[in-house]
Structures are given as structure tokens and as C-alpha cells.
Chain A
Amino acid sequence: MSDTTDGQVLTTQDGKPLKAALRRALRREKLRAFLLIAPLLIFVLITFVAPIVDMLFRSVENGIVADTLPKTVIELSKWDPASGEAPDEVVFAALYDDMVIAVDQKTHTRLGSRLNYEQSGISSLFRKTGRRIKRMDEDGPFKDQFIGADKKWGDVATWQVLQQFSPRYTDGYFLNAFDAKRGAEGIEMKPEDQQIYMFLFGRTLFLSIVITLSCLLLGYPIAFLLASLPLRTSNLLMILVLLPFWTSLLVRTSAWKVLLQQQGVINDFLVWTRLIDDAGRLVMINNQTGTIIAMTHILLPFMILPLYSVMKTISPSYVRAAKSLGANDWTAFWRVYFPQSVPGIGAGAILVFILSIGYYITPELVGGTSGIFISNRIAYHISSSLNWGLAASLGTLLLVAVLVLFVVYDKIVGIDNVKLG
């Protein structure tokens, strides 16, 4: 549509140029749409996005050393750990001033427990020094007094840790999450027996893959059956899929706890049928088997539903055409039907995988020690060990993994096409 005819500008009835009027209308429409979305957007930004950003920030945040010992940090920056000797009197004098204030505000124990994550023993060092600080001679010399209070103040290693964590931001938590640490010669891996996080990430990935595959194995036939049955029957059978989907996660987890226990229903049944004897009851819970069985059951509907919605769109005439051209049942399925169902497999598999790598409740309840995921470790650091920085950096790594997968999911399915129920 052109807006000019013979050089004349088209106008609306009240004499304004049409183009301007349309532009105004469009702007108003955009504004209206935005005003409708704004309340929720602000709500989600405050209640959800801000906490996530806060967590990302916390994974590198390290203001505690600089806040508690400000003067020491400045003086210590001039010290060279390669000298092999503890810093000189100036640093100790600054430490004395800082410690007096810190003990007064009782912040020195917090600093101690924070630095204790990096090197054990520092927590007690700070507590001990805190008790002795009042008895020290205000005029110095401080170096001997501090070393007299605790020999650790004479160690190069103690000061190295302090200097290393002086900056306000640290990669220490992330190094820890990657089982690495900063040694004398830069970044190095921790000893084999202390490498727990990479191992846990590996196990989380491995178990998630196993769960995704078993969901696919069990979900594909069901989706295929539901898609090929007449609508009336398939709607009825669909209830069997939707009921578990709608049932509380904890209900299903407790059901598996009841079923899989050594004195539980399955073991009792197997003993009753004489398949196993009473002494040989199977251990199916509090290990990886328990996690895999329970989580496959919990996530199976998330595999069946996307598969079903894709399979329902596959026209049966393709398979019929293949058969009329001489394909046997298997060839018709494998060469014609299966390739068309691949988008459904992709969608379902990624969905199940995303959900499973972040799972917490079920592994916690039926996983024992060998079946727990990285999320359980994050929860442990938040509520038990109180090493929030490490929890935040582990969480950040997990979040990055999920987001990458989600981008893939978005490319395959599109978030707009997510269907529920």
C-alpha cells in the first residue's frame, strides 16, 4: 500500500497524515501491551530474577576479608610471599588495629570460619587471637606478640591465604567447585581423594542420562499406542498417564519408599513367590537403583506427553503407503514412522533431562549416599556447612548447564509450544 497518490499525502478524517496516525496507534498498542505485562514482569524480576542474580553475585563475592581487616589488607598487598618470611612489623601493627575493632564487633570469628574453608585451622587461630588481643601491649612490637599468641601468625601459608582472599571478588569458590585450588604455582587440581564435585557432576549427568533413556524406552511404546488407538480409548488410557503426573511428588516418592524397602511390598512378593529367599532380600532403596526407578516413574509423563503430541500429527497414510510399496512392518516403522517421531523424542528427552539434573527431593529420600545428585550437595552447603559461596558457585554451574540445554530445547520445540496436560 502506498501512502501517496500523485504527491498528495493521505490523511485521516480529521486531517492528520495517515502514516503519523497509524504510527501513533501502533505506539499506543505497544504501550498498552507493555503496561499489561509490566506488573508480572516487575513481580518476577523482584521475586525470582533478583534472587538468581544475587546468587550469581554471591559465588564470586568476597568482601569479608577487606571489610574485617581493611588496614591489614592495604599493608599486606606490598608483601611478597616468595620472600619465604612472614610480613614485617607494619602489617602486624595494622592487624592489631583491625583486630581490636573486629573483636569489639565480634566479626573476627565469622572471618575465621570463612577462611577455614580455604585452610583448616584458621578458624581456631582467629578465635584464639581474639581472646588474647586485649592482653597485648598497645605500643608493640606486635609481630612477636602475635606469634606468641599463636605460632601460625609466623607461617607464610597463613598470610598467603589472607593475601589471596583480600580482593573483593574471588574465583576461589569456582576453583573449589571444579576441585581445583590456587597453590604456590598457580591453579592446580586437588588431590584425587578430595575431588568430590566433578565426580558428583559426573554422577548427576550419568544418572540423568540413564533416567532419560529409561523414560524413552518406557514412554515410546505408550505414546505410540495412545497415538494409534481411537480417540475415545486413548483419552481413557491417558488418565493412567495424567494421574501420576498430577499426583504429588512426595506421594509418589513415599510410594516407592514403601514398595522398594527390604521389608516392603516388592520384596515380600518375591519372597512369597519363592523367587528369592528371606535372607536374600534385594536392596533396592537408598542407592542408585532406588533413584533411577523412582525418578523414571516420576518423569515418565514428561516424556510421554510431548511424544504423544508429535505422534498424533503423523498421518497413518505414510505407513500404509510404505506397506503398499512392499515394506514389511519393521521397515515401515523404522524408515517411515520413526524418523517423523524424532522431534518428539528430542523434546521429551531434553525436558526429562533438564528436570532430572536439578532434582533434589527424590534423590534425597531414596538415593542414600550413592544415588545423590549435585543439588543435594548444594542443599548441604546452604543448610549444614553454611558455605554459601560454594553453594552459590555450584548452583551457578548447574544453572549454566540447564540454560544451555534449555536454549537447545527452545530451538527444537520453542517455549511458545510448551503444552501442559
Chain B
Amino acid sequence: MSALPPYASPLQRTWFYTFRVICGLIFFFLIFPILVILPLSFNAQDFFTFTKEMLSFDPAGYSFKHYNDFFTNPDWQQALVNSVLIAPVATLLATAFGTVAAVGLSQSHVPYKPAIMAILISPMIVPLIISAAGMYFFYSRIGLQGTYWGVVLAHAALGTPFVIITVTATLVGFDRSLVRASASLGANPVTTFFKVQMPLIVPGVVSGALFAFITSFDEVVVVLFLGSAGQKTLPWQMFTGLREQISPTILAVASLMVAISIALLTVLELLRRRSERLRGLTPG
């Protein structure tokens, strides 16, 4: 399939190109909705579609007014601040707990490993609405509902499975004799962890942290139930915006968030290349 052989029959030739066209259309379906909001966010009108001026590339059809609105509207600014206050703290908690636990899980003798794994992965499996419902009931019993820490703890719990998965994946390729070598040279376990193990698993930790960050930064269901007006995050504001007073400012926010995703994706891709290169260099 990779290339058309010179002896291909006309039928094979037709199918080869038809298949490529079909795939192209599916790729278009995947990427078009994301790309289409970028130009629309510069619309000078309050419309959700291309105006005549935009289609004729008339500069008058384009403007920064929706971005302007985002950066001056106090509602959006408050939401941005809340998102920035919540996501990094949740990420930090999830990454710290998750990395340590992943190191523990990768030891050769872990009692009840399947059961522990099932519990630790469960926040990723259980549908968000159920997590949100359960947390709403439980956190209101213990007084965390509607508080900053309630949202942070909930988001941290939702992010940990991703850290566990990415870090254990990196630890699979980790050579245990390095730990023994370090111990035999007199390093204590803590030094060994930070000087030997950590530098080698750092790509896994970083990508786990990115997953945890995006989980919290994009999360809307749990914050909708657990948060009060004081914890309104960007996704929450977008959600209410889409449901009630639909305003094109959402497109500007969406475009900015696409930019963030592209940045995150680039970091991950660089990390992946780095680890591939490192693996290629290590003998065997």
C-alpha cells in the first residue's frame, strides 16, 4: 500500500487513488472544525459564519475585537485567572503522588498489584458525570463543595491515572541494575531516586504532567458541580457561553486554546523524539 508497484492493474490504480482520497476526506473531517474557528475568530461582525467581506479578504471584514473583548471582559479574565490558579496546583499534586506511586508499582514484588492498579486507574474509567455526582454529594458532606481546594483535589484525582500510565511506561525500559550500582556505591535510596532514576524517567513524568494539566485545564463537568461562582474556570465560562448567551468571544478563546494545544503537542513530540533517539543510542 505504501507505494503503487509499476505492474499495478488499472483497477488497483483506481482503488489506490480512491483510498487516498477517502483518507484525505477523513483527515479533513478531523482537522477542519478546528481550523475553521481560527479565521472566524477574527470576524468583524458578531456572526458565526464567513461574511462577504471575509471571503473577499477585505481587511475591513477582519478585526481583533473578540480578542479585545476576551482580554477586557472581567468575566473572562476572572475565568482565566481561576483556570491558571487551579490547573497547575492540581497538576503538581497529581504528578508528585503519581510519580512516587509509579516507582512503587514498578518494583518487582508488589502485593495486590491488580487491585491497586484498578483503584488507581478508576478515575480515568468512571464516566465524568458519575465522578462529578459522587464528589458533589461527598464533598458537600465534608464541606469542600464550592471551595478552591475541593476543585483542586478533584482535578488532581482525575489527573493521576495519566501520570501513573506514562511513568510506568517509561519505567518498563528502566535498567534496575543502575539502582543497585548506585546503592553499592553508597548512595541512599533518596539520592538514588533523584540522581539516577529521575533523570531517566523525566520524559514520562513530563508527559504525564502535561496530561494531568490538560485534564484539569479542559475539565468542565466536575467543576460545574463542585465549584461555586468563585471557581468559574475558562471551560465553565465557555460552557455557559455556548448554552446561553452565545457570543463570538468564545471563538477567540477557542483559538487561544488551540494555540495552547499546539504548544503542548509540540513539547510531547519533542519528548518522544528525544526518548527515541536515546533508545537508539543505547546498545541492545
A: residues with CB less than 8 A from B are 26, 29-30, 32-37, 39-41, 43-45, 47-55, 58, 218, 221-222, 224-225, 228-230, 237, 239-244, 246-259, 261, 263-265, 268, 297, 300-301, 329, 354, 357-361, 364-365, 375, 378-379, 382-383, 388, 391-392, 395, 398-399, 402-403, 406, 415-416, 418-421
Q: Is the interface of A mostly helix, strand, loop or mixed?
A: helix
Q: Would you call B100 and A243 a contact (CB within 8 A)?
A: no
B2 touches A229 (CB 8 A): yes
Instruction: Find out whether the CB atom of A240 lies under 8 angstroms from the CB atom of B27.
Output: yes
B window 81-100: CB within 8 A of A: 93, 97-98, 100
Across-interface contacts of B166 in A (CB, < 8 A): 420
Nearest-Cβ distance from residue B227 to partner chain A, whole angstroms: 12
Q: A243-B31, A395-B133 are in contact. Are A254 and B122 (CB under 8 A)?
A: no
- Known A-B contacts: A43-B156, A251-B257, A258-B40. Give 13 more (CB < 8 A): A54-B141, A55-B138, A237-B27, A240-B30, A244-B30, A253-B242, A264-B49, A265-B36, A358-B127, A375-B127, A379-B225, A395-B133, A421-B207
Could you say which residues of chain A place their CB within 8 Å of the CB of B26?
A: 218, 221-222
Q: Is the CB of A33 within 8 A of B110?
A: yes
Closest chain B residue, CB of each to CB of A376: B129
Q: A51-B131, A402-B125, A415-B118 are in contact. Are A255 and B104 (CB under 8 A)?
A: no
A410 shortest CB reach to chain B, Å = 8
Chain B hits for A359, CB < 8 A: 127
A230 to B2, CA, bound (A): 7
Known: A41-B119, A50-B138, A250-B254. A225 touches B126 (CB 8 A): no
Given A247, A248, A259, A419, which contacts B169 in the complex, CB threshold below 8 Å?
A: A419
> In chain A, what residue has the closest Cβ to B27?
A240
Interface status of B48 (Cβ within 8 A of chain A)? yes
Flag if B261 contacts A247 (CB, 8 Å): yes
Do the beta carbons of A44 and B120 come within 8 Å of each other?
yes
Contact B130–A398 (Cβ < 8 Å): yes
CB-CB under 8 A from A44, the residues of chain B are 119-120, 122-123, 157, 160
Q: Give the distance to chain B from A142, nearest Cβ to Cβ, in Å.
A: 36
- The residue of chain A having its C-beta at the shortest distance from the C-beta of B139 within the complex is A51
Tell me if B23 and A49 are in contact (CB < 8 A): no
Question: What is the CB-to-nearest-CB distance from B132 to chain A, in angstroms, rounded to a whole number?
Answer: 8
Chain B residues, CB < 8 A from A244: 30-31, 33-34
Give the residues in chain A near B217, CB-CB below 8 Å.
248
Contact yes or no, B107 A52, CB < 8 A: no
- What's the nearest-Cβ distance from chain A to residue B152, in Å? 10
Query: Quick one: closest B residue to A251, CB to CB?
Result: B254
Contact A379 B129, beta carbon cutoff 8 Å: yes
Complex contacts, A365 vs chain B, CB 8 Å = 239, 242-243
Q: What are 27 contact pairs spanning A and B, CB under 8 A?
A: A30-B110, A33-B105, A33-B111, A36-B100, A40-B120, A44-B119, A44-B122, A54-B137, A55-B133, A55-B137, A55-B138, A58-B137, A222-B23, A248-B257, A250-B235, A251-B37, A252-B34, A255-B36, A257-B242, A263-B47, A378-B129, A382-B133, A382-B136, A399-B127, A402-B127, A420-B207, A421-B211
Bound-state CA distance A263–B238 (Å) is 20
B75 CB within 8 Å of chain A: no
Taking a contact as CB atoms under 8 Å apart, the answer to whether B134 and A52 are in contact is yes
The reply on B103 being an interface residue by CB < 8 A is yes
The answer to whether B49 and A265 touch across the interface, beta carbons within 8 angstroms, is yes
How many angstroms from the CA of A51 to the CA of B153 in the assembled complex? 12
In the assembled complex, the CB of B35 is this many whole angstroms from the nearest CB of chain A, namely 9
Q: Are A264 and B125 in contact (CB under 8 A)?
A: no
In the docked arrangement, what's the CA distance between A254 and B132, Å?
22
B-side contacts of A256, CB under 8 Å: 33
Pair A239/B265 contact, Cβ less than 8 Å: yes
Interface centre among B104, B119, B166 (most CB of A within 10 A): B104
Residues of A within 8 A of B269 (CB): 239
Asked if B258 is at the interface (CB within 8 A of a chain A CB), the reply is yes
Question: Do A221 and B23 have beta carbons less than 8 Å apart?
Answer: yes
The distance in angstroms between the C-alpha atoms of A286 and B101, with both chains bound, is: 44
Are B157 and A48 neighbours in the complex by a CB distance under 8 Å? Answer: yes
- The contact of B242 among A237, A250, A357, by CB within 8 Å, is A250
- The one of A29, A55, A228 in contact with B108, judged by C-beta atoms closer than 8 angstroms, is A29
| Chain B positions within 8 Å of A58 at CB level | 137
Taking the closest CB of chain A, its distance from the CB of B59, in whole angstroms, is 21
Q: Contact partner of B235 among A39, A248, A395, CB < 8 A?
A: A248
User: A36-B104, A254-B238 given as contacts; is B261 within 8 A of A55 (CB)?
Assistant: no
Q: 10 shortest A-B CB distances, which residue pairs?
A: A358-B127, A36-B104, A51-B134, A51-B138, A40-B101, A255-B33, A55-B134, A33-B107, A375-B129, A228-B1
Q: Which of A249, A257, A398 makes the CB contact (< 8 A) with B127?
A: A398
Q: Could you tell me the distance in whole angstroms from the C-beta of A83 to the nearest C-beta in chain B? A: 39
Docked-complex contact B220 and A250, CB < 8 angstroms:
yes
CB nearest neighbor in A for B238: A250
Alpha-carbon separation in the docked complex, A6 to B180 (Å) = 33
Cβ A248 vs Cβ B120 within 8 A: no
Q: Which residues of the other chain, A, contact B225 by a CB distance below 8 angstroms?
A: 379, 382-383
Residue of A nearest to B211 (CB): A420
**Known contacts being A51-B139, A254-B251, A263-B49, is A416 close to B168, with CB within 8 Å?**
yes
Residues of A within 8 A of B123 (CB): 44, 48
Report A-chain residues with C-beta under 8 Å of the C-beta of B19.
221, 225
Give bound CA distance, A334 to B149, whole Å.
Answer: 54
Is B198 an interface residue when CB atoms closer than 8 A count as contact? no
**Chain B residue with Cβ nearest A337:** B1
B97, A43: Cβ atoms closer than 8 Å? yes
The answer to whether the Cβ of B187 comes within 8 Å of any Cβ in the partner chain is: no
CA distance A260 to B275 in the complex (A): 41
Docked complex Cα distance between A58 and B138 (Å): 10
Contact B109 A420 (CB under 8 A): no
Contact call B125/A254, Cβ cutoff below 8 A: no
Cross-chain contact B214 with A246 (CB below 8 angstroms): yes
Contacts of B31 in A (CB 8 A): 240, 243-244
